[in-house]
Chains A and B, each alone.
Chain A
Amino acid sequence: MSYLRAFGHYLPPLSVSNAALETRTGRDASTIEKTSGILERRYAAAEVSVADLGLAAANVCLENANLTADDIGLILFSSGSAERAFPGPASVLAAKLGLTATPAIDIPIASAGSLIGLAFAADLAPRYGNILVVASEIMSRRISDADPDTAILFGDGAGACIVSPEKGFARIADTALFTDGNYADALQLQHGGFIQMKGLDVIVQASRKIPRSIEDLLTKNNLKPADVSIFLMHQANVNLIRKVTTALQVPAERFFSNINHYGNTSSASLLIAASEWHTANPAPPTAPIVLAAFGAGFNWGAILALPA
């Protein structure tokens, strides 16, 4: 079995308001809030790397788990905004943690990457021991002010999770991952380019696929959406989160949301949300937890965690 043991996150200090983006992109600040739910987002400083943000989140996570880097058996690093094609930030992070022989694998999938990392970790933890799943993104360097539809959405940040085979606050009971490459061009980042997104395709497909994946996973485990205490989702757009809430017919307060403060931090958003939720709710959970994400690929899925 595998367990969620601890989370951690880090956000760079520079906050960028909608008013600042209005100046840059021409998109009205109130329209940005209305269409996305975002009030502000964080941007990393020029000298900061994706691995740097990941390290900051990893250190918080290790402290919360009462572990040291030497206790890690495997690193899974999700990022869609890494500085170079290879090697990715996983090996750099391992070196920054002082690890010289621990396997460190990149998951360059963007939005759904952290969910995929957690799902893989659930299967691999019994073999590798404690797995550090990190998701770190500097999407502010991958947007163009000439494309306000994407420029207003994205921010920077990092989240981390320890998946342990021994103990944790919740047991990972089941996972479901999906890919449909027919939409590979709908959300993409070419080498040296900027994020290109066909927003309508993304929203329409996500609105259908996320609730279905959650419902199917719950049904498979003899559960209903109403049985779930908290839904932790990739923070893409507050209107999308509301659509999933409506589709699953659960109260909105069961969906944790922090997109108003951080924007869409791609794959980092799920772990940042999970970390903030767990910090605010440190007591052992007494009801199921669902994590879900959707993004480029399209890749999507859900994870079910039960009280340990």
Chain B
Amino acid sequence: MSTQAGILKVIHAVADIPNDPAPDESLFDSGTLDSFTLPDLVTGLEQEFDVKIPDADLVPERFDTVSKIEAYLDSRKS
């Protein structure tokens, strides 16, 4: 499974949305994510990608779009 597909899987698990968000669509502006679902998204990403995401990294800007999440996960892997 590609990184983007894994991200979309986690997003669908934490947010009740019918379709995949576009890669650069703001997940917060669209209402897909909010302050209560962001922690669930991060926990889901940690489990899906077997990475540890520090609390200090939990800023909305890093998780606002699928593309930004992908870039962040790539930075954690490297």
Complex CA–CA separation, A240 to B35 (angstroms)? 10
B36's contact among A182, A201, A203, A209, by CB below 8 Å, is which?
Answer: A203
| B5 contacts A by Cβ under 8 Å | no
Q: Are B55 and A208 in contact (CB under 8 A)?
A: yes
Complex CA–CA separation, A30 to B34 (angstroms)? 18
Residues of A within 8 A of B35 (CB): 199-200, 202-204
Q: Are B56 and A204 in contact (CB under 8 A)?
A: no
| B6 contacts A by Cβ under 8 Å | no
A interface residues, tally (CB under 8 Å): 15
Residues of A within 8 A of B56 (CB): 182
Enumerate B25-60 residues with CB–CB distance to A below 8 Å.
34-36, 38-39, 42, 55-56, 58-60
Chain A facing B: main interface SS: helix
Complex CA–CA separation, A243 to B60 (angstroms)? 18
Q: Are B55 and A243 in contact (CB under 8 A)?
A: no
| A205 contacts B by Cβ under 8 Å | yes
| A239 contacts B by Cβ under 8 Å | yes
A243's contact among B36, B42, B58, by CB below 8 Å, is which?
Answer: B36
Complex CA–CA separation, A209 to B58 (angstroms)? 12
| A17 contacts B by Cβ under 8 Å | no
Q: Are B36 and A205 in contact (CB under 8 A)?
A: no
Which of A182, A208, A209 has the most chain B CB atoms closer than 10 A to its own CB? A208
| A196 contacts B by Cβ under 8 Å | no
Across the A-B interface, the 5 shortest Cβ-Cβ residue pairs: A203-B35, A207-B39, A200-B35, A204-B58, A204-B38
Show 8 residue pairs from A and B whose CB-CB distance is below 8 angstroms, ordered by the A residue. Answer: A200-B60, A203-B35, A203-B39, A205-B55, A205-B58, A207-B39, A208-B42, A208-B55
